[in-house]
């Protein structure tokens, strides 16, 4: 059973993140949809919950993942690039103690 803040590898074809196997943080999981955060670009996408059935859940260090998200957030702020602020805040709240 996947919960919020679970890191999953999922094959996606989405304009925001591209096509192929990508790693995501599950930010919110509903009955029909799951909201995912893509750490390299801090893009948030929504996928049907059925797509998570085929997802892999590799082991990941939450501290390192949170540090990567914070580093990417700083860079995106510095250069004025778009990023999902609510999804990033939710992921960091779950990943950091």
Pick the most confident of 1-15, 20-34, 50-64.
20-34
41-45, 75-79, 90-94, range with the lowest pLDDT: 90-94
Is the pLDDT assigned to residue 4 strictly greater than 60? Answer: no
Pairing relationship of beta strands 33-38 and 18-29 according to DSSP bridges: antiparallel
In this prediction, residue 97 carries a pLDDT of: 76
The arithmetic mean of pLDDT across residues 84-94, rounded, is 92
42-73 per-position pLDDT tens digit: 999 999 999 988 888 888 888 999 999 999 99
């Amino acid at each position: 059973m996947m919960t919020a803040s679970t890191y999953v590898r999922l094959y996606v074809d989405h304009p925001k993140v591209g096509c192929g196997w990508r790693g995501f943080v599950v930010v919110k999981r509903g009955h029909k949809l799951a909201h995912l955060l893509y750490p390299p670009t801090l893009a948030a996408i929504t996928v049907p919950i059925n797509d998570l059935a085929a997802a892999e859940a590799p082991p990941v260090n939450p501290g390192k993942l949170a540090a990567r998200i914070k580093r990417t957030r700083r860079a995106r702020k510095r250069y004025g690039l778009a990023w999902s602020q609510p999804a990033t805040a939710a992921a960091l709240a779950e990943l950091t103690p």
